[in-house]
Structure 1
Amino acid sequence: MDFYTIISVVEKMEPEKKKDILEKGAIIQRDGETYAIAPHTPAGLLTPEILRTIADTAEKYNVAAIKISSSQRIVLVGLKEEDLDDVWSDLGMKPGSAIGICVRSVRVCPGTTFCKRGKQDSMSLGLKLDEKYHSMQLPAKMKIGVSGCLFSCSESAVRDIGFIGDTKGFKCYVGGNASSNPKVGELIAEELTQDAALELTEKIIQFLKAKNSKKRLGKVIEEIGMEQFKKEIGLI
């Protein structure tokens, strides 16, 4: 048996490395064995009942950690693969879409519902966007942020689509991201009502579907140019 045959045999004997399980919303952890899941909490809103259920489930399956994520989710870390289905069942939830090529959770600030600085009702807009688009499959992943004032606590300007409220309505920014090559999105519309913001979001989503590109929105806009992008979504 020659050297290359030996290497081939050894590789076949090695256990296959575990990967994320998209359909179960499970993210493989550093140990290569356990998983983390992120129950979906629209706009980061929780109730005592939801918190009790999450706490009871975490105790039952002896999670390694409970972590609040930057995307307003509660992450359960250190779950066994064989327990994933039972965990989601005990939570009473469908698997959250924290991974995969889809619309991730919509990040939302308290807005005029709670915050003294709020200028627009970010909670209402954010919840409507979350209800319609969360987990929607797209050619590339998408992140959305909604902020009720110019302080932009939801960091809306570094989302693929971001809305920021002021006294006249919502501003819309597109093409932002906070990745390894961060970029602030470009302002494309101002003084939007909530209905106008929803309508504009739908046009952008349909634009992405039509382009069928695996690149994030900002990259797609760079390739075709901002003027052409605005034409295709009906702004000019």
Structure 2
Amino acid sequence: MEKTSIKPRAPLGEIGPDGLIRIARVVEEFGIPVVRATAGQRLLLAGIRPGDYEAVRAALGGGEAHCPHYVQACPGRAGCSHALADGPDLGLELEALLAEMVLPAKVKAGVSSCPRSCAESLVRDLGLVGRSSGWSLYFGGNAGMKPRVGDLLAGKLSAAESLGLARRVLEFYAREGKAKERTARFVERIGLDAVREAVLQGKTKDSERSVRQAALVLA
């Protein structure tokens, strides 16, 4: 008999005591045989009987129990001496943004507080990397069967500017992307210039220059 799985929503991989107790009770009640940590900082409950899926989802919290999108983040200044920014704070805002959006396909985001990129930001659909000059935002990365390094959209951004640009590029993707088309294939199809033209309108010459300079550094 074919079985299914579910990943309970856990912003930045954090699950409080009540959430852990709820998950443990659901696993015991429905006899779920496998619970494992994923690379995306979530828990995977696998081996759920198809007839139990909706009941499991309801027991985990209904609509809030699962979100196809997620944000992976490093500890930031509170947990790493290399951090140049507070990744978890921005990551939580980005996770809330993703949870409210309807997108063509799942979106994986990475928020790294320094260029070491422990949250794998450059191979995520949406990636943020903290630098001494501010945040750099990347779009269209993928670590799957056809890997792709995300394209730099802008650098030297404040946290607020990063979140605003993330919203604009995701809204553009929501409008123009095809069903089940991941961001990597989306960028390849329409071209990076089209993405930048759509989401960087109104940016200052200094911002545009920072994109070119960062691109040269990465080349």
TM-score above 0.5: yes
* Of 201, 205, 226, the match for 2:192: 226
1: distance between equivalents of 2:6 and 2:171?
29
* Of 133, 141, 155, the match for 2:98: 133
| Deviations 1:145-183, CA, capped at 9 Å, x for gaps | 111111211101001110011222111111110111101
Higher mean C-alpha displacement, 79-88 vs 143-152: 79-88
Q: Check 1:41–1:93 CA distance in 2 against 1; reply closer, same or farther (3 A cut).
A: farther
Aligned to 2:85, what secondary structure does the other structure show? coil
Q: Which residue of 2 aligns with 1:181?
A: 146
Q: Which residue of 2 aligns with 1:77?
A: 46
Aligned to 1:176, what secondary structure does the other structure show? coil
Shift of 1:119: 1.3
- 1:155-166 superposed matches below 5 A: 155-166=120-131
Moved over 6 A (4+): none
2: distance between equivalents of 1:41 and 1:151?
24
Shift of 1:93: 4.5
- 1:86-235 superposed matches below 5 A: 86-94=55-63, 95-98=65-68, 104-134=69-99, 136-214=101-179, 215-234=181-200, 235=203
Equivalent residues of 1:34, 1:80 under 8 A apart: yes
Q: Which has the larger radius of gyration?
A: 1
| Deviations 1:57-76, CA, capped at 9 Å, x for gaps | 21222211111111111111
1: distance between equivalents of 2:50 and 2:182?
31
Q: Which amino acid aligns with 1:124?
A: D
| Deviations 1:67-117, CA, capped at 9 Å, x for gaps | 11111111111122222233233333434123xxxxx11112211233222
| Bigger share in helix | 2
Equivalent residues of 2:22, 2:60 under 8 A apart: yes
1: distance between equivalents of 2:39 and 2:138?
20
* Of 10, 13, 29, the match for 1:60: 29
Q: Check 1:141–1:91 CA distance in 2 against 1; reply closer, same or farther (3 A cut).
A: closer
- Segments of structure 1 that go 5 or more residues without pairing to the other structure are 1-31, 99-103
Q: Which amino acid aligns with 1:90?
A: A
The Cα RMSD (Å) is 1.9
1: distance between equivalents of 2:103 and 2:157?
25
Aligned to 1:206, what secondary structure does the other structure show? helix
Q: TM-score, normalised by structure 1?
A: 0.77
Q: Which residue of 2 aligns with 1:41?
A: 10
Shift of 1:135: 6.2
Q: TM-score, normalised by structure 2?
A: 0.83
Equivalent residues of 1:113, 1:123 under 8 A apart: no
